[in-house]
């Protein structure tokens, strides 16, 4: 069996991708799936990281050729839960950041989120995880409209499985890092760039590099048309927000990209955080100059008062386009009130 132990992870990924493409072209999908399975067997036998990346490369080639490929992970058949719509659209390469957004309805807000991400100083590849027929129609439209948008479809419950489905798709893109973002959360223009500078890159982590970058502060623009500034009481809550987290690939590869419990719908942020703590405990916070804005977010419902250090009315609706917020308003190019 051909081993890649002397090859770099990236070269191995490219080799697996190209070799599988050759088999697809010459012998068809069944032989390509056999090639794919053989690479998996080799990786499981050698436990060599380069063999694993060759397997990942072959997986990407297979998925690009078919919308319904039976991929198994932890004994679960994802073909019944995941609908890949990527024909006529090649998955990107050399991606610094892949962003997963799981959503249900509220399509106008999701597109605002997409636009804001694409206008970041470092823009990510975006994976939408849709739940129903109207979400599917919307996702197809977004994929056609924006070159960096892809999507998968998964039932809304359990929510953990929905998020995991998006993460497993992101893995196929082979990014240097993974961003998790709520459908109604908008990031300030330099958020991703700053977080990415702090994160460990590639298959090895440099000294001092973080495996998770996030925030304990956020802003809410709510249905009363008021802007609130909130933060966790760090004496009680020892965890970053789930939205706006950037994970390093070094950490993700160590846990097989398993950062969500597929069987639950609540407390979804805990697993990824706890795994980083156990792996390296390298967690950094984003600076106060960057922030997460939740449009009509329901954090005040999801978090008990004792967990929140401060929650004050910061800017009234009549001042939402004041000089202090002019940059954000221009950046988003939207009327906040239209989204409520």
Residue 102, pLDDT score: 95
Confidence at 54, pLDDT banded by 50, 70, 90: confident
Q: What distance, in Å, lies between the first and last C-alpha atoms of the chain? A: 59
Q: What is the pLDDT of residues 17-34, one digit of tens each?
A: 899 989 988 888 788 888
Number of domains in the chain: 2
DSSP for residue 210:
B
Residue 283, pLDDT score: 92
Angle CA(135)–CA(218)–CA(136) in degrees, nearest 5?
A: 5
Residue 167, pLDDT score: 94
Q: Is residue 52 part of a domain?
A: yes
Q: Which residues make beta-bridge pairs with 248?
A: 177
**Between the CA atoms of 3, 7, 8 and 13, what dihedral angle is there, to the nearest 10 degrees?**
-50
Residue 323, pLDDT score: 31
Q: What is the pLDDT of residues 59-114, one digit of tens each?
A: 878 766 643 333 333 333 333 334 444 444 567 778 999 999 999 888 988 998 89
Q: What is the pLDDT of residues 176-209, one digit of tens each?
A: 999 999 988 888 889 999 999 999 765 555 556 8
Could you tell me if 43 and 109 lie in one domain? Answer: no
Q: Which residues make beta-bridge pairs with 295?
A: 221
Confidence at 45, pLDDT banded by 50, 70, 90: confident
Cα–Cα distance for residue pair 166/155, rounded to 1 Å: 12
Greatest alpha-carbon pair distance for the chain in Å reads 69
Confidence at 328, pLDDT banded by 50, 70, 90: very low
Q: What is the pLDDT of residues 317-327, one digit of tens each?
A: 333 333 334 33
CATH number of the CATH domain containing 247: 3.90.550.10
CA neighbor of 220 nearest in space, from 184, 250, 252: 184
Could you tell me if 105 and 234 lie in one domain? Answer: yes
DSSP for residue 339:
G
State the average pLDDT for the chain.
76
Residue 248, pLDDT score: 94
Q: What is the pLDDT of residues 205-252, one digit of tens each?
A: 555 689 999 998 877 766 555 666 777 666 555 688 889 999 999 999
Residue 50 near residue 9 (C-beta atoms within 8 A):
yes
**Domain end among 66, 88, 111:** 66
Burial group, residue 187, by CB count within 10 angstroms (0-12, 13-18, 19+):
buried
Could you tell me if 61 and 104 lie in one domain? Answer: no
Tokens representing 244 are: 């706006």
Could you tell me if 310 and 183 lie in one domain? Answer: yes
| Phi/psi-derived region of residue 202, left when phi > 0, alpha when psi is between -120 and 50, beta in every other case | left
Q: Is residue 153 part of a domain?
A: yes
Higher-confidence residue of 3 and 8: namely 8
Q: Is residue 92 part of a domain?
A: no
Tokens representing 200 are: 């460990």
Could you tell me if 159 and 243 lie in one domain? Answer: yes
Could you tell me if 116 and 182 lie in one domain? Answer: yes
Domain containing residue 59 = 9-66
Instruction: Name the pTM for this structure.
Output: 0.67
Strand pairing report for 308-315 and 227-232: antiparallel
Q: Is residue 172 part of a domain?
A: yes
pLDDT over threshold 70, residue 298: no
Residue 255, pLDDT score: 92
Q: What is the pLDDT of residues 123-175, one digit of tens each?
A: 999 999 988 888 888 998 999 899 999 988 888 888 998 999 999 989 888 89
Q: Is residue 29 part of a domain?
A: yes
Residue 219, pLDDT score: 77
Distances (CA, A) of 267 to 158, 167, 177, 239, 277: 12, 17, 22, 12, 17
Could you tell me if 45 and 164 lie in one domain? Answer: no
DSSP for residue 265:
S
CA neighbor of 51 nearest in space, from 11, 92, 103, 102: 11
Residue 186, pLDDT score: 86
């Amino acid at each position: 069996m051909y081993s890649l132990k002397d090859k770099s992870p990236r070269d191995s990924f490219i080799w697996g991708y190209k070799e599988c493409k050759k088999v697809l072209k010459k012998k068809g999908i069944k032989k390509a799936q056999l090639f794919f399975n053989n690479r998996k067997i080799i990786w499981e036998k050698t436990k060599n990281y380069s063999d694993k990346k060759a397997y990942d490369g072959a997986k990407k080639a297979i998925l690009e050729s078919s919308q319904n490929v039976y991929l198994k992970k932890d004994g679960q058949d994802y073909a019944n839960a995941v609908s890949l719509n990527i024909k006529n659209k090649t998955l990107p390469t050399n991606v610094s950041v892949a962003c997963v957004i799981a959503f249900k309805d509220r399509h106008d807000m999701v597109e605002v989120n997409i636009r804001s991400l694409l206008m970041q100083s470092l823009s990510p590849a975006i994976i939408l995880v849709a739940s129903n027929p109207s979400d599917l129609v919307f996702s197809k439209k977004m994929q056609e409209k924006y070159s960096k948008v892809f999507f998968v479809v998964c039932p809304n419950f359990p929510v953990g499985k929905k998020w995991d489905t998006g993460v497993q798709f992101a893995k196929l893109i082979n990014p240097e890092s993974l961003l998790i973002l709520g459908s109604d959360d908008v990031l300030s223009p330099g958020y991703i760039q700053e977080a990415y500078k702090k994160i460990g890159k590639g298959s090895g982590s440099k000294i001092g590099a973080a495996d998770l970058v996030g925030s304990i502060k956020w802003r809410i623009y709510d249905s009363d048309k008021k802007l609130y500034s909130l933060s966790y009481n760090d004496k009680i809550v020892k965890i970053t927000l789930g939205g706006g987290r950037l994970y390093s690939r070094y950490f993700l590869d160590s846990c097989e990209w398993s950062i969500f419990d597929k069987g639950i719908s609540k407390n979804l942020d805990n697993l990824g955080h706890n795994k980083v703590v156990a792996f390296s405990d390298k967690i950094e916070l984003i600076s106060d100059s960057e922030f997460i804005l939740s449009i009509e977010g329901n954090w005040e419902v999801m978090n008990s008062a004792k967990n929140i250090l401060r929650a004050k009315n910061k800017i009234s609706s009549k001042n939402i386009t004041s000089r202090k917020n002019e940059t954000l308003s221009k950046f988003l190019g939207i009327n906040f009130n239209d989204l409520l």
